[in-house]
Amino acid sequence: MKTHVYVDGFNLYYGCLRGTPHRGLDLAEFCRLMLPDNDVRRIKYFTARIGARPDDPVKPSRQQLYLRALRTLPNLEIHFGHYLTHKVGMPLAHPSATPCRRPCEYLDLAYQV
C-alpha cells in the first residue's frame, strides 16, 4: 500500500525520544520497521526552530545537526512552523475535585503552521 507518513517533530521528541539514546532516530528506517507491508513514499516532518536556553545553550545546534541528517533522506520533507509559548495559570488539583473536562484550555504551548 502506498503510504505517506506525517511526523510531529515536537511530539516525537518530547513524547518519545527526549532523554533516550535514540534522539537521532532514522525516520526512514523507523517507518520501514513499523510499516513493513507499506510502500512509504513520503515522510513529512513538521517542526519549528528552537532557541537557546540558559540551561542548554547548544540546543539549537543539536536540532540543526538532526535536521541536516534528515535532509539526507530522499523521501523526507521538512516543514517549519512557529513555536509559541506563553504563561498560563493552572487551577490547583484536589483529590476530591471533579476532573477537568476541557484539558485543552490549560495548554501552555501551541504549534502553528
What is the DSSP annotation of the chain? -EEEEEEEHHHHIIIIITTSTTTT--HHHHHHHH-TTSEEEEEEEEE-PPPPBTTBTTHHHHHHHHHHHHTTSTTEEEEE-EEEE-----PPP-TTSPPPS-GGGG--EEEE-
pLDDT digits (tens, 9 = 90+) for 23-37: 889 999 999 999 999
pTM: 0.71
pLDDT digits (tens, 9 = 90+) for 35-93: 999 999 999 999 999 888 899 899 999 999 999 999 999 999 999 998 777 777 777 76
